[in-house]
Amino acid sequence: MNIELDEEHLELAASVRDFADNVVAPASYQYDTERRLPMEIIAQMGEMGLFGLPFPEEHGGQGKDYLSLCLAVEQLSRVDQSIGVTLEAGIGLGAMPVFRFGTDAQRERYLPSLTAGRALAAFGLTERDAGSDAGATQTRAELTDGEWTINGSKQFITNSGTPITNLITVTAVTGTRISSRGGEVPELSSILVPTPAEGLTVHPSYDKVGWHTSDTHPLTFDDVRVPEENLLGERGRGYANFLSILDEGRVAFAALCTGAAQGCLEQALAYAKTRNVFGTAIGSNQHIAFMIARMEARTHSARMAYYHACSLLMAGKPFKKEASIAKLTASEAAMQNARDASHIWGGYGFLNENIVARHYRDSKVLEVGEGTTEVQLMIIARELGLVE
């Protein structure tokens, strides 16, 4: 595997890094305090073509590869995880399902605005008792006279209530089927719900520990009706399709985690070189130096893990195990680096105006989102033939 980035990738990463440092970072504390998604920054990201990076030009995209998306997400997440996840989820959970499984008509209707960043889409999977166990989905969709009628609720749905949200993909039980073991199980399908929609309630945003700028809402569907042709992919393939979307998404999510780990490393290193105690920089203390060395090692391991998974994805090879390894490695690196960076910064690391403190708050959800640590371990163990 060649882990060297080519000139095009290096230029993209440098461009997004410059945008992150000079546009996103200076405003991030303000928006974090206001707990709102800065639509002006999202608009600039759209103008840069970031929302269209991995999509073909025929759909309004940039025609780049999946690594390009990952590099952009990593650079943004160094300074603001909320902005990073807005891009990652907007593409991976919003536009990608339409691109992968949509009809030509669905792609023509939704992708141009999504890839341009003029609109955002959300993926409504998680429920009170269904997320990691998607088979426990309670949301129902009944087909009558050419219309789907959807009833149920979803929670923790990213990008579902922004001023430019125009689509929510909903997983719902559409009937039953016979499993490979001979028993009857729910038939899970995916359905496109344009927003706003009569009967759809987007409840107020959560009061979250972190990711204050990210747009996250619970949703209620009360007799929401959409045409039969809004079925996304084959009926009954919703579960399989969402698993493949999550596999891809975990690679980009690992890039997000890597960016968070890198951001903490950079902040800790800079402070350790300039903060003097008893007449010497604290970085000259072996304990601090070794702590930062471990931060560097974690970040490097996380980056190599997602590079490897991404290379397999782009080559069309199996990458499920590697995606889970990347997500597991990178999320733990982000959380550990955030802890260490805040410790190195001391009292200043406990102030919300400090990016280190925001990373400390934000990073816990990285071990939960897009599949918990335990789910990643389960997938890795299954791929090793240890569990069914």
Q: Which domain holds residue 265?
A: 240-383
Predicted pLDDT of residue 195: 96
Same structural domain for residues 131 and 98? no
Same structural domain for residues 38 and 56? yes
Same structural domain for residues 212 and 307? no
Rounded CA-CA distance 308/326 in Å is 8
Closest CA to 305 of 332, 283, 284: 332
CATH number, domain of 192, equals 2.40.110.10
CATH number, domain of 316, equals 1.20.140.10
Total count of domains within the chain: 3
Rounded CA-CA distance 379/195 in Å is 34
Same structural domain for residues 224 and 349? no
Per-residue pLDDT in tens (0 to 9) along the chain, 388 residues: 667 799 999 999 999 999 999 999 999 999 999 999 999 999 999 999 999 999 999 999 999 999 999 999 999 999 999 999 999 999 999 999 999 999 999 999 999 999 999 999 999 999 988 777 777 889 999 999 999 999 999 999 999 999 999 999 999 999 988 776 777 788 999 999 999 999 999 999 999 999 999 999 999 999 999 999 999 999 999 888 988 899 999 999 999 999 999 999 999 999 999 999 999 999 999 999 999 999 999 999 999 999 999 999 999 999 999 999 999 999 999 999 999 999 999 999 999 999 999 999 999 999 999 899 999 999 999 999 998 7
Rounded CA-CA distance 314/9 in Å is 14
Rounded CA-CA distance 101/241 in Å is 8
Same structural domain for residues 30 and 156? no
Same structural domain for residues 135 and 256? no
Residue 12's SS3 state is helix
User: Does any domain span residue 97?
Assistant: yes
User: Does any domain span residue 1?
Assistant: no
Same structural domain for residues 377 and 245? yes
Is position 7 annotated as part of the catalytic site?
no
Tell whether omega for the bond before 196 is within 30 degrees of 0, i.e. cis.
yes
Same structural domain for residues 51 and 72? yes
Predicted pLDDT of residue 302: 98
Predicted pLDDT of residue 33: 96
**What's the pTM?**
0.95
Tokens (6 digits) for 357? 């403190």
Q: Catalytic residue, from 370, 374, 383, 388: name it.
A: 370
Same structural domain for residues 129 and 216? yes
3-state secondary structure 125-177: CCECCECCCHHHCCCEEEEECCEEEEEEEEEEEECCCCCCEEEEEEEEEEEEE
Same structural domain for residues 74 and 84? yes
Domain end among 86, 120, 154: 120
Same structural domain for residues 313 and 336? yes
Predicted pLDDT of residue 188: 93
Same structural domain for residues 133 and 257? no
